[in-house]
Structure 1
């Protein structure tokens, strides 16, 4: 049970207990695995890139990502901690310095001479001045993680400008990533006025369906759906708890009811039906009704994708590092959020809906249009006959679950990606350099931060799956993208990035998607749950190499450099704010906040080669 601001109420737990906290490790032996662009030094941008493989993920010689803290607030905390002597004798101290990578580099403690102590005192004063300068940039209405978000956006902007100069296809990939994963609305917004001449209270897309008449607990099929392939389905479900689970075969053996049977199997395995006293007939009626509200003619954002994200969330919840961390109510909310996160998705992006003045865009004032709609439909379906799976929850439990689900589904808006990444990385790094390195997760804000990123990771998980499965998702997302491009062409609209079937580069888009979006996210998640996600990072690297090696070698003349410079200068740093207050350039958002690519999941709108999401 949660208080509005203070998280779990003292002495209360929503139907379950959680562990004292999550232990964070300070260093991880990753061998030669690439690090993401977040660890690049400024000097790396001076090198002339001639190949998409870049070296953006290779740390400087002699250093690994684990040696450095990259989020600004964690850097300040690290300096503050390291400047304190270990004991009264002051004979041994930690030596620290800002590294060439722009992070904190920590050297082992060592005994110092008097001269070294004097030099250390001078260095300490210099570092304190730096800390104060950093703290001075924090505005009172901004969270400390916004410092990291601004920094990461600035670094991504430079990467995309770099990529844009290489070829026309590189420019298209850059435009797609910037328009999909970068939230341009950095300043306080005044919501658009609601149109008064057209009532918008009715939730569109909800249909009256009936499944309950043929269902009863006595005649319930083994996996909740009628099929002639129960044995084959049973064999597939032996791998339900594995990341390599093949959701495509489940769809094949379940009469194309992957979401219904996945939800049924997971809730049975976790005993959630028993814990929350959910009648089995009601549960099956709801999940089948939910699945019917996914569009079978949408190539990517259909019930198959919802089933995949739900199963991936189930596996992430089971990771050993998170064992007993979350309550049963939080687990219920996470699985429910994953199941409804794309319901009634029309197969086009948020920006397409905004550009065409759709009813949904008007209803939600252009803000996370599809995500808000998915939530409305998912909760509205609970009101249909024999569909209220939460009927036996207390009022407080329902309120807590609703808040959790809303926060998680809104987090699947891919335009919020950089903010989610910055929040998670700031939390992980700050806890590493303070106290015992244990992430207590004793407040709602911390717990929902992990859960929100968990569902976001599941939504962007396609590139971390086996290549065979990953490629199938890529084909589906590109088909959905191209259909949107065809609609835009027919309407005489500008075709969104990666939606033009005549010019899109699938292979290059996948490499870019992994380098700039998927890898930084999963790298941070792996840091949180180390060592449980290391195999996923290895698979991600292998898949990237496959797409890189299959990339057509046919470079196009680079577009005009001046135009590129203008197009991708859409973020400024906090340090530059004073000097550039009147020169902030917002790029043209041709495809709008989409959700994710091939490995993505909840993208509201079309997705790019990456996998899955549009916002």
Structure 2
């Protein structure tokens, strides 16, 4: 039977934090057995556990000396472990464990109904990176055996579907010339005066970005990003030429395609969500201005030139982008290439006042963050964040100390992943609109897959989707565990987000249609 680890009233589930908890327990037992006198003050005060001694018999001097030396060694080990950075070797333990836990839960979810099977397949294929050493379970559709042959590819259609990615990255689409004369508008672009009401909500979780887009004449990304940079004092701090910055933003916006979901409005939403997450009181003094600027910029550019198809589709269809990036985070690498290619134009280089070192730091942060928006990295990101939260909890340290790059970028990567998955945490009317948009984009991909003669991806068949159940599963297995862990890190700041998430879950849960008796019996 697996040992349950607790710290106070909290159940500890990540292996690294369990290791710390176990060693602390060993330390407490040693003190109790050897009846060692310890001080309640000093750097080890938070490790002192008040337990009555097991005996009052004086121990031989050599035994007491050995016990004290052992305690000192144990304290040294705990010092090293409590300050260790969450490198892959540590976080992989948690990631592997979380994958197994999610697989088990989704197996039960799949058995509950035929629609549950499809939702489970979607969550596993989208949010779990393939680990060659830890095979993922295959969920079979009831009544169907495992596939023994792949559908015949329609090579003619495949060829037409491939994009001229090489040319687009090396040349990018023709840039729009600067159009600023004299004083810039308040939000960088001309907007209806009513937009001010909505722009005043940029510090809140869930402003109506669709309304902002309408009132800014389809320039929500430019207006919101410009406003955030100005409000945070970044334009002044880094001597950013406002007209050049707006030129860059307009060209960035121009390179977002007219997809139902992955478009400039989604980018504006993620950038604004990043801004709010960065304002958590716990994180106020953690990040430098350069890191904050890179984080908001990463949110703005993270999906530029998105074709409206998933990474797996691009790989399956032998797309030029997949060939260029060797099937590894294909879209994310393309977004970065386009965004930084735009910066090379002198009319768009708003970072012109940065030193070479600052530019390199900025670029590294943005690259590391945007690569983390690959949804297949979800379990690793969640495991890293959970390990950090629990390790600090076991160490008795409520203050977030991120003095090394690895720790800082881990939090920023989690943050952009949170922002990218934030739709279910927004007011229900916004959440429903985002949900309709992503489903339409998935369905368009499914239509294309049918044309190409390749297997239709889970959730991409417009005639075979249970919308309400898919959202409940998405919240339960992906979004809620992530936001709950983040709420532990920034406690009590994110409670309103968790409350809205729960409210939205109940909204969809109450609308799940009952499946016909025949479908339930087939699944049992």
What secondary structure is seen at the aligned counterpart in 2 of 1:68? strand
Tell me how far apart the structure 2 counterparts of residues 359 and 398 of structure 1 sit (CA, whole Å): 30
Q: 1:80 aligns with which of 23, 32, 49?
A: 23
Alignment of 1:210 onto 2:169 = no
Structure 2 runs not aligned, ≥5 long: 41-46, 57-66, 68-73, 82-86, 135-163
Partner of 1:466: 427
Query: Greater CA radius of gyration, 1 or 2?
Result: 2
Aligned match for 2:254, one of 292, 295, 301 = 292
Q: What secondary structure does 1:84 align onto?
A: helix
Change (3 A) 1:559 1:275: farther
Residue deviations 1:60-96, cap 9 Å, x none? 9xx99951111101111111123224799548999xx
Asked if the contact 1:205/1:377 (under 8 Å) is kept, the reply is no
Distance change >3 Å, CA 77–CA 65, structure 1 → 2? closer
Residue of structure 2 aligned with 1:143, choices 89, 113, 130: 89
Aligned residue in 2 for 1:152 = 98
Between structures 1 and 2, the one with greater helix share: 2
Q: Does 1:366 align with 2:327?
A: yes
Q: Indicate how the Cα distance of structure 1 residues 200 and 346 shifts in structure 2: closer, same or farther if over 3 A, else same.
A: closer
Shift of 1:203: 1.3
In 2: Cα distance, 1:171 partner to 1:320 partner: 41
- 1:175-324 to structure 2, matched below 5 A, reads 175-186=121-132, 200=166, 203=169, 206-212=172-178, 214-216=179-181, 218-227=182-191, 229=192, 231-296=193-258, 298-324=259-285
Q: Relative to structure 1, is the Cα distance of residues 545 and 357 closer, same or farther in structure 2, using a 3 angstrom cutoff? A: same
- CA shift, 1:110, in A, is 3.7
What is the count of residue pairs matched by the alignment?
461
Counterpart of 1:512 in structure 2 is: 473
**Does the 8 Å CA contact 1:239/1:245 hold for their aligned counterparts?**
yes
Contact 1:165 1:171 in 2 (8 A): yes
Equivalent residue in structure 2 for 1:69, among 12, 28, 37: 12
Asked if the contact 2:301–2:339 (Cα under 8 Å) also holds between the matched residues in 1, the reply is yes
**CA distances 1:205-244 after superposition (whole Å, capped 9, x unpaired):** 82012230x213x2311211123x1x21111111110003
- Distance, in Å, in 2 between the alignment partners of 1:539 and 1:527 is 16
Residue 199 of structure 1 deviates from its aligned partner by: 11
CA, structure 1 residues 485+558, in 2 after alignment: closer, same or farther (shift >3 Å)?
farther
Report deviation, 1:468: 1.1
The partner residue of 2:117 within 159, 166, 171 is 171
CA distance in 2, matches of 1:442, 1:313: 21
**In 2 relative to 1, CA 268–540 (structure 1 residues): closer, same or farther, beyond 3 Å?**
same
* Residue 109 of structure 1: how far off its partner (Å): 3.6
Q: Please give the alpha-carbon distance, in whole angstroms, between the structure 1 residues aligned to 2:8 and 2:379.
A: 19
Whether the aligned pair in 2 keeps the contact of 1:344 and 1:374 (CA below 8 Å) is yes
Change (3 A) 1:285 1:65: farther
Pairing partner for 1:413 from 360, 374, 397: 374
Query: Is the Cα contact below 8 Å between 2:286 and 2:401 reproduced in 1?
Result: no
Q: What's 1:452 paired with?
A: 413
Using the alignment, how far apart are the partners of 1:304 and 1:491 within structure 2? 30
Relative to the length of structure 2, the TM-score reads 0.82
Equivalent of 2:55 in 111, 114, 123: 114
Q: 1:544 aligns with which of 505, 508, 512?
A: 505
